[in-house]
Amino acid sequence: GDSVTQMEGPVTLSEEAFLTINCTYTATGYPSLFWYVQYPGEGLQLLLKATKADDKGSNKGFEATYRKETTSFHLEKGSVQVSDSAVYFCALSDSSSNTGKLIFGQGTTLQVKP
Amino acid sequence: GAVVSQHPSWVICKSGTSVKIECRSLDFQATTMFWYRQFPKQSLMLMATSNEGSKATYEQGVEKDKFLINHASLTLSTLTVTSAHPEDSSFYICSAWTGGNYGYTFGSGTRLTVV
């Protein structure tokens, strides 16, 4: 079945550092790809998405490009802030069914220090 | 737009009792809702897919008699944890497909603690 693999955390950075969180996927079809962010004690918020190969999703300085050839959707930000500290989840929409369910990676905790 | 309201945000219950969690779509109709469970510092695991007016579809390994899901209207889905035990303590999150730019919208989650 479809699956998502993220780099393990926690990732600890200083403010204004460059961020990369790796995400690779396995899918039999053509899934849409997502990045969600979860702040402590809260639900998930959509950060960005891409629906087809070579699409670039971007939001709040974060961006990720749907790379079909490498089956990747790495999250990047040029200059992180303390307020970016959260757990980030890469996800794909299940391409093997019509239910629309999401399959999540294990999550990567980002800690940004001032 | 595309807000999903989930209540309660946290609940503590005694072992053996049942707890109901509500998930409402506030400004759209949600034909399909999803229920996830999240263990501390772990990812979200899909428990079941809830379809309005029909029986929920449970993922493998999820006890449907323990986790009762009802989706009686296009704006409300409920998850009832029956005869709760401490191992049911977890963070439960619902979501709905809203389409367009919002995609999947998530509730704020419910922290269940069974003592």
pLDDT digits (tens, 9 = 90+) for A15-27: 999 999 999 999 9
Nearest Cα residue to B82 out of B22, B20, B7, B34: B20
pLDDT tens for each residue of B32-63: 899 999 887 778 899 999 988 888 999 999 99
Query: Does the structure show a pLDDT above 80 at B101?
Result: no
What confidence score (pLDDT) does residue B90 get? 94
Nearest Cα residue to A26 out of A68, A63, A76, A74: A68
What band does B100 get if pLDDT is binned at 50, 70 and 90? low
Nearest to B108 among A43, A89, A104 (CB): A43
What confidence score (pLDDT) does residue B28 get? 86
Query: Does the structure show a pLDDT above 60 at A98?
Result: no
Name the more confident of A71 and B27. A71
Q: Looking at residues B9-34, what average pLDDT do you find?
A: 93
- The answer to whether the beta carbons of residues A82 and A25 sit under 8 Å apart is no
CB of A13 less than 8 A from some CB of B: no
CB of B11 less than 8 A from some CB of A: no
Question: CB distance A101–B42 less than 8 Å?
Answer: no
Question: CB distance A36–B106 less than 8 Å?
Answer: yes
Collect all residues of chain A within an 8 Å Cβ-Cβ radius of residue B93.
43-44
DSSP 8-state code for residue A16: T
Q: Looking at residues B79-84, what average pLDDT do you find?
A: 97
Name the more confident of B17 and B102. B17
Mean pLDDT rounded to a whole number for chain B: 90
What confidence score (pLDDT) does residue A5 get? 94
Nearest Cα residue to A64 out of A17, A24, A104, A11: A24
pLDDT tens for each residue of A17-74: 999 999 999 998 889 999 999 988 788 889 999 989 999 999 999 999 999 999 999 9
Nearest-Cα residue of chain A relative to residue B90: A41
Nearest Cα residue to B8 out of B79, B71, B74, B66: B79
